[in-house]
């Protein structure tokens, strides 16, 4: 089955700086890669996703890149703000026209924004 | 607010007991996924239902079962509970028809004593 590794487990950055979280996956059949943000006491919130036929996707301060050959994908957050502090999870799954399989998650990155 | 609702928010029970967790998907979503989140195992996919039918199984124990009803709400049944079953249980829903995004509910925190 799929295995997703995520690094680092904790990331502390100064407010205004950029943060990068990296993930690798093992199953070359995976073609859908979402990122979730989880705040304390809440469920994971989808923040951005990318499909395997796309190399990069951007949404305001958040961007995701995908390297299919190397089987890794990354989340980039620019101009970090205090409200970006949370745990971030990467995930992978196989998606067909009929819908997506269950997600395989990384272990999470605790992002701390220092004022 | 994702539009996915889960009840109860918290559940405390004893070893050996059985509990039922409930999930209502977003309006119009046909597919429901159940996940378990624990410190040991992280976020793990348990089982998926589509329009009332089981579609896929992940790391779900034999003591656990689920179903999806005609009104599309889903229930996760956990029986013969052990201390290690203490975790957060999340439900996610997806439209299924050409969409891939999964939207998570707020979760049910289960504590087994």
Report the alpha-carbon distance of residue A46 to residue B90 in Å, rounded.
14
- In this predicted structure, the answer to whether residue A1 has a pLDDT above a threshold of 90 is no
CA A105 to CA A6: how far, in whole Å? Answer: 9
Would an 8 Å CB–CB cutoff place A70 in contact with chain B? no
Residues of chain B in Cβ contact (below 8 Å) with chain A: 2, 4, 31, 33, 35, 42-48, 50, 56, 58, 90, 94, 96-107
Which of A43, A51, A52 is the best substitution to test chain B (most B C-beta atoms within 10 A)? A43
Residue A50 makes CB contacts below 8 A (sequence gap 6+) with A32, A33, A34, A56, A57, A64, A65, A66, A73
User: What is the per-residue pLDDT for A100?
Assistant: 73
Q: Does any CB of chain B come closer than 8 Å to the CB of residue A89?
A: yes
Place of tokens 């809440």: A42
Cβ atoms of A19 and A111 within 8 Å: the answer is yes
Q: Tens-of-pLDDT digits for all 113 residues of chain B?
A: 889 999 999 999 999 999 999 999 999 899 999 999 999 889 999 999 999 999 889 989 999 999 999 999 999 999 999 999 999 999 999 986 666 789 999 999 999 99
Bridge-partner residues for B72, per DSSP?
none
pLDDT, position B96: 66
């Amino acid at each position: 089955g799929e295995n997703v590794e995520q690094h680092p487990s904790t990331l502390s950055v100064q407010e205004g700086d950029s943060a990068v979280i990296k993930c690798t996956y093992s199953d070359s059949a995976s073609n859908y890669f979402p990122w979730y943000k989880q705040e304390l006491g809440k469920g994971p919130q989808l923040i951005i996703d990318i499909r395997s036929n796309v190399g990069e996707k951007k949404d305001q301060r958040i961007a995701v890149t995908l390297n299919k050959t190397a089987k890794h994908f990354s989340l980039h957050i620019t101009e970090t703000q205090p409200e970006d502090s949370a745990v971030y999870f990467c995930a992978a799954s196989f998606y067909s026209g009929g819908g997506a399989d269950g997600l395989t998650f990384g272990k999470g990155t605790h992002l701390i924004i220092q004022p | 607010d994702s539009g996915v609702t889960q009840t109860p928010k918290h559940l405390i029970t004893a070893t050996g007991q059985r509990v039922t967790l409930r999930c209502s998907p977003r309006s119009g979503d046909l597919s429901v996924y159940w996940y378990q989140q624990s410190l040991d195992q992280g976020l793990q996919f348990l089982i998926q239902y589509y329009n009332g039918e089981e579609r896929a199984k992940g790391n779900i124990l034999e003591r656990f079962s689920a179903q999806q009803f005609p009104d599309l709400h889903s229930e996760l049944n956990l029986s013969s509970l052990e201390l290690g079953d203490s975790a957060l249980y999340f439900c996610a829903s997806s439209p299924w028809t050409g969409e891939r995004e999964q939207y998570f509910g707020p979760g049910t925190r289960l504590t087994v004593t």
